[in-house]
Amino acid sequence: MRDFDENNITAAVIDRYQNTPDPRLKKIMTSLVQHLHDFVRDVELTEAEWTHAIDYLTRTGKLCTDKRQEFILLSDTLGVSMLVDAINHRFAEGATESTVMGPFYVQNPPEAAFGADIRGEAKGEPLYIDGSILSEDGKPVANAIVDVWHSDAEGFYDVQLPELEEPTLRARFHSDAQGRFRFWTIMPRYYPIPYDGTVGDMLKASARHPYRPAHVHFMIIAGGHETLVTHVFVDGDQYLDSDAVFAVKNSLIRDFTREAPGIAPDGKKIDTPWRKLQTNFVLSKVMAKKSAPAA
Ligand code: BEZ
Ligand code: FE
């Protein structure tokens, strides 16, 4: 067939995927071509805009290294990461909701004991976090891996501060026989996602801000359960309703209570005001894996 025009070219391109052996790939390519062509027709893309888009994607790719993933950040700021998260983590009723991982997780964080202080040299308002890991049936989950990471009081992660020699404000805990974990840290702050690249250009051009509300990240891994990647957000933060990556869920917002100087629950004496977070995580039991639908 020849003489493709703006109306018949889509069917012709889709037809070229007829013999794709993998049915899932066939479905994805067919839908991608359909939606991409519909988009181009919908906005009547100009050649200058097409060139700009190619240049934008090229610059985005060039920014990617083993330390920076501008494409994931683009996916985050377009809401695609949260959409993929929602589709892939339809947990059991009552299980804690998931949210994006973000770029600041570091594999194999330092192991920390029950009740440890993970502040290192970071300065800020002391925060005591006390939680339990439960299964969807309410039973405690012992020996779960509880990875934690968060920003400092100025909104920076340790990996953004080259002067820090040790991992700070990140650790790996293991829940005890009753499913509990405890630790001391400092209050996190809201912060901007990296906006000195192409994602920042897009945000600025669209009059969007780059901020995320203050939160603490958790990744919880336990045998027989779905891995949970989530955050706990600080109630009252000014960016809860405009998170740059659309990751806030009401069920993940917590009251980080203000406490007066005195004796903390672990018997520690504190001379300054401090904050306390009590938070449980409910894990979904392992769910049956979806097999690829037939084409
Ligand atoms: C974060 O919370 O660490 C994060 C998530 C998505 C994009 C940038 C940062
Ligand atoms: Fe974060």
pLDDT of residue 106: 94
Nearest bound ligand to the CA of residue 74: 1
Are 167 and 158 a contacting pair, CB within 8 Å?
yes
Q: Is the full-model pTM beyond 0.85?
A: yes
Query: What are φ and ψ of residue 161, in 5° steps?
Result: -120, 90
Nearest bound ligand to the CA of residue 216: 2
pLDDT of residue 295: 47
Return the bridge partners of 173, or none: 146
Does the pLDDT value for residue 16 go beyond 50? Answer: yes
- Residue 72 CA: nearest ligand 1 atom is 7
Ligand 1, atom 7, residue with closest C-alpha: 102
Q: How far apart are CA 295 and CA 285, in angstroms?
A: 30
pLDDT in tens, 99-121: 999 999 999 999 999 999 999 99
Question: Mean of the pLDDT values across residues 78-97?
Answer: 94
Between the CA of 189 and the centroid of ligand 2 the distance, in Å, is: 10
Cα dihedral 229, 116, 128, 245, rounded to 10, equals: -30
Between the CA of 33 and the centroid of ligand 1 the distance, in Å, is: 30
- Ligand 1 in reach of 76 Cβ (< 6 A): yes
Are 146 and 218 a contacting pair, CB within 8 Å?
yes
Parse the chain into domains and list their residue ranges.
9-76, 93-283
Look up the CATH number of domain 93-283.
2.60.130.10
State the pLDDT confidence band at 292, using cuts at 50, 70 and 90: low
- Ligand 1 in reach of 245 Cβ (< 6 A): yes
Count other Cβ atoms within 10 Å, centred on residue 242. 13
CA within 13 Å, CB half, 124: 24
- Ligand 1 in reach of 103 Cβ (< 6 A): yes
pLDDT in tens, 195-209: 999 999 999 999 999
pLDDT of residue 287: 84
pLDDT of residue 290: 60
Are 251 and 221 a contacting pair, CB within 8 Å?
no
